[in-house]
């Protein structure tokens, strides 16, 4: 049986070890934030996108976390995009941000269920499908610039997470917001949208603008020969 002093020594050593393990991550985030403007987004092929993430449990002090979240927001806006996950800037923490002003025509809004989403911080998110309905649409990724592909995803998901202040999030997302949640959470698990895509649908941004700008991918499916989920 250990003496109280032994317990204190072990606790002190564990605390020092924990700080030593966390220091490189803190230093990397500080280095990222030292520059001006948006953070650099890593592209497909970078191992940072495939390693997955560790749950956030205070690795960044509150002030540094707030600065990192603001940098993710600035970077997402500048790209521009509607979501950004920490691995996309080379940080292996289970944190993502989303925001979608949804500046789309009414026919697109109705077809895709794309409605405005306020800025949200998702800490340690995970989701589960609600029902069995799936919807397929073209989507892209800031880490795969210049390309889009059709991905069939759950039409509705239940998200559980925390926000930046540690408050619990338990919310159901539908339509395009559900797609954003799934896309960003996949990033935290080391997945890219291409892992789930119909690869025959893969199209350059130019082809998208010239051929497949319709609200749904039905015409692309018929012309390129890939299946769509049954309604």
The one catalytic residue in 164, 184, 198, 210 is 184
Helix H segments across 104-191?
106-112, 176-188
Q: What is the mean pLDDT of the chain?
A: 91
Which domains, ranges and CATH numbers included, belong to the chain? 12-224 (3.90.45.10)
- For the stretch 72-130, pLDDT in tens is 999 999 999 999 999 999 999 999 999 999 999 999 999 999 999 999 999 999 999 99
Name which of 48, 50, 112, 126 is nearest 82 in CA terms: 112
106 counts as catalytic: no
Q: Is 17 left (phi over 0), alpha (psi -120 to 50) or beta?
A: alpha
pLDDT confidence bin for 6, thresholds 50/70/90: very low
55 contacts: CB under 8 Å, gap ≥ 6:
94, 124
Specify whether the CB–CB gap between 201 and 137 falls below 8 A: no
Residue with tokens 């691995």: 87
Q: Model confidence at 36, in pLDDT bands (50, 70, 90)?
A: confident
Indicate left, alpha or beta for 4 from its phi (over 0: left) and psi (-120 to 50: alpha). alpha
The whole-angstrom distance between residue 115's C-alpha and the CA centroid of its chain comes to 18
In terms of C-beta density within 10 A (0-12 exposed, 13-18 middle, 19 or more buried), how is residue 152 classed? Answer: middle
Higher pLDDT, 56 or 8: 56
Provide the Cα torsion 201, 202, 203, 204; round to 10°: 170
Q: Is the pLDDT of residue 228 over 50?
A: yes
């Amino acid at each position: 049986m250990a003496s109280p002093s032994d317990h204190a020594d072990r606790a002190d050593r564990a605390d020092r070890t924990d700080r030593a393990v966390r220091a490189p991550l803190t230093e990397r985030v500080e280095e990222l934030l030292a520059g001006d403007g948006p953070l650099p987004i890593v592209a497909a092929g970078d191992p940072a996108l495939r390693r997955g993430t560790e749950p956030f449990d205070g690795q960044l002090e509150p002030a540094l976390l707030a600065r990192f979240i603001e940098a993710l927001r600035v970077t997402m806006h500048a790209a521009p995009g509607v979501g950004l996950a920490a691995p996309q800037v080379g940080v292996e923490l289970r944190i993502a941000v989303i925001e979608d002003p949804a500046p789309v025509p009414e026919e697109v809004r109705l077809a895709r269920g794309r409605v405005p989403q306020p800025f949200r911080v998702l800490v340690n998110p995970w989701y589960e499908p609600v029902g069995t309905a799936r919807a397929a649409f073209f989507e892209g990724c800031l880490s795969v610039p210049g390309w889009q592909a059709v991905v069939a995803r759950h039409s509705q998901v239940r998200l559980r997470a925390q926000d930046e202040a540690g408050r619990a999030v338990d919310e159901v997302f539908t339509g395009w917001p559900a797609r954003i949640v799934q896309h960003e959470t996949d990033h935290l698990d080391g997945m890219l949208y291409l892992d789930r895509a119909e690869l025959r649908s893969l199209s350059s941004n130019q082809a998208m603008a010239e051929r497949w700008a319709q609200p749904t991918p039905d015409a692309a499916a018929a012309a390129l020969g890939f299946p769509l989920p049954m309604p």
